[in-house]
Every structure is written in structure tokens, then in C-alpha cells.
Amino acid sequence: MRPLTAGNMVQPLAAAGELQRDLQRDLTYDGLRVAEAKGNKGGRHPAVTAAKAAAVRATYLGCE
């Protein structure tokens, strides 16, 4: 039997990390698909509404 070396101890940890990352990605995509099916859109709400942006543009362009 070969003695354990640092490389042999790191390999199972790397495999476990890869498995965790794949599982997290799959669960995230599943959740996004469920939310999309319910009609929810992910992400932050716009900080500036379209109406406010249009008013600022009109004011800016009107001041030239």
C-alpha cells in the first residue's frame, strides 16, 4: 500500500468540490426555470423607471 501524499489527499477534496459546484449549478437552474414558469423574472428591479428616464432625457435634450 502506498503512503498518502498531499496530492492523494487533495484529489478527493477537489472531486467533492466539483460535485458540490455541479449540484449548486443544477439547483440554481432548476429554481430559475420554476420561477420563469410562474412568470417571475429574476434580477433587481430597475432603480430608475422608464418614465423617469424619459423625463430626464427630455429635460436634458430640451436644455441644449
16-41 pLDDT per residue, tens: 999 999 999 999 999 999 999 999 88
Q: DSSP character for 48?
A: S
Place of cell 503512503: 3
| pLDDT at residue number 55 | 92
How many distinct structural domains can be found in the chain?
Answer: 1
Residue 47 belongs to a domain: no
Q: Which three cell numbers stand for residue 40?
A: 417571475
CB distance 41 to 33 below 8 Å: no
- Asked, for residue 48, whether it belongs to a domain, the answer is no
DSSP 3-state assignment of 19? helix
Q: Does residue 56 belong to any structural domain of this protein?
A: no
Query: Which residues span the domain enclosing 26?
Result: 13-40
Evaluate if pTM is beyond 0.75. no
What phi, psi does 2 have (nearest 5°)?
A: -80, 145
Residues with Cβ within 8 Å of 48's Cβ and at least 6 positions away in sequence, in order, are 56
